């Protein structure tokens, strides 16, 4: 499917997600455990990404919870970045915080470790009290792009901040909007923020066998829907006309 000036990234946490996105999306964000915001994927998923023609950026997040990392966490993160480099993938998605600011010393070290890879700052920025100041930090650190919902749980509720970030960025860094982005609100987000880069899961929930519930397993599982991916791309094509 032909590309246009609007960029489309899909986050996936299963190998089946590659087939759902094949020939349609511009980039994959490869994760595990999307139900907790995304963690570093296993070696098997990274190997699957090597077999895909879609550029993959790998979420590097060693655990659920906050983004305040100690020396042990950072050692794990650096090793994961090296694994992505050795796999020949395109980029990494990272973030770290200390108190109410981005952890600049840690991030500077991690960006140096990721030399030669594209580097995206993930939604840790949405936890910062001043997203615009955090954006300037990210620019100074050398990030290529920021994934953000504008400091709100859902992007549709952070549109004013998203627009302010896009305006202030002035092309120095790519602002990519994510969190609750769907076919139904895509046009609104594009029009109201001026952002041209979009991130979505394009997933649907399907039930799992009831007997699994009794053992503490999830009642549903999310799968990337190719139909939704196709519809998302068609909507982007319409907006780009």
The residues spanned by each domain of the chain are 7-240
pLDDT for position 4:
53
Could you tell me where the DSSP H helices lie in the chain?
Answer: 16-21, 43-50, 71-87, 104-113, 131-141, 159-169, 186-193, 226-240
CATH class of the 7-240 domain in this structure: alpha beta
Cβ neighbours, 10 Å, residue 219: 11
| Cα–Cα distance measured from residue 67 to residue 124, given in angstroms and rounded to the nearest whole number | 7
Cβ neighbours, 10 Å, residue 33: 15
> How high is the mean pLDDT of the chain?
94
Would the pTM count as exceeding 0.85?
yes
Cβ neighbours, 10 Å, residue 234: 13
**φ/ψ of residue 154, rounded to 5:** -125, 140
Q: Where residue 218 falls among pLDDT bands split at 50, 70, 90? A: confident
Query: Is the Cβ–Cβ distance between 169 and 140 less than 8 Å?
Result: no
> Would the pLDDT of 77 be above 80?
yes
pLDDT for position 3:
45
Q: For the stretch 80-117, what's the b/e string if a residue is b when 16 or more beta carbons lie within 10 angstroms of its beta carbon? A: bbebbeeeebebbbbbbbeeeebbeebbeebbebbeeb
pLDDT for position 53:
95
Q: Where residue 206 falls among pLDDT bands split at 50, 70, 90? A: confident
Query: Is the Cβ–Cβ distance between 109 and 96 less than 8 Å?
Result: no
Q: For the stretch 143-175, what's the b/e string if a residue is b when 16 or more beta carbons lie within 10 angstroms of its beta carbon? A: bebbbbbbbbeebbebbebbbbbbeebeeebbb
| Cα–Cα distance measured from residue 83 to residue 77, given in angstroms and rounded to the nearest whole number | 10
pLDDT for position 241:
60
Summarize pLDDT for 180-196 with one digit per residue, the tens.
999 999 999 999 999 99
**φ/ψ of residue 67, rounded to 5:** -115, 20
Summarize pLDDT for 98-156 with one digit per residue, the tens.
988 999 999 999 999 999 999 999 999 999 999 999 999 999 999 999 999 999 999 99
> Would the pLDDT of 2 be above 50?
no
| Cα–Cα distance measured from residue 15 to residue 30, given in angstroms and rounded to the nearest whole number | 9
Query: Is the Cβ–Cβ distance between 175 and 154 less than 8 Å?
Result: no
pLDDT for position 207:
78
Cβ neighbours, 10 Å, residue 124: 23
Query: Is the Cβ–Cβ distance between 31 and 38 less than 8 Å?
Result: yes
């Amino acid at each position: 499917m032909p590309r246009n000036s609007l960029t489309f990234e899909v986050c996936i946490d299963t190998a089946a997600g590659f087939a759902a996105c094949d020939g349609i999306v511009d980039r994959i964000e490869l994760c595990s455990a999307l139900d907790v915001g995304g963690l570093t994927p296993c070696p098997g998923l990274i190997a699957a990404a090597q077999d895909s023609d879609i550029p993959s950026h790998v979420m590097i997040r060693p655990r659920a919870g906050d983004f305040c990392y100690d020396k042990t966490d950072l050692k794990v993160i650096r090793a994961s970045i090296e694994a992505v480099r050795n796999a020949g993938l395109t980029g990494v998605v990272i973030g770290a915080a200390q108190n109410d600011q981005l952890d600049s010393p840690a991030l500077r070290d991690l960006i140096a470790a990721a030399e030669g890879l594209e580097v995206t700052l993930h939604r840790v920025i949405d936890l910062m009290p001043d997203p615009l100041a955090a954006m300037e930090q990210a620019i100074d650190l050398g990030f290529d792009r920021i994934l953000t919902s504008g400091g709100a749980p859902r992007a549709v509720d952070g549109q004013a901040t998203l627009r302010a970030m896009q305006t202030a960025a002035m092309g120095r860094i790519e602002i990519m909007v994510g969190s609750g982005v769907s076919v139904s609100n895509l046009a609104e987000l594009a029009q109201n923020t001026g952002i041209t880069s979009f991130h979505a899961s394009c997933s649907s929930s399907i039930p799992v066998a009831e007997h699994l519930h009794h053992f503490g397993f999830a009642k549903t599982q999310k799968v990337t829907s190719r139909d939704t991916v196709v519809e998302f791309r068609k909507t982007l094509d319409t907006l780009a006309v």
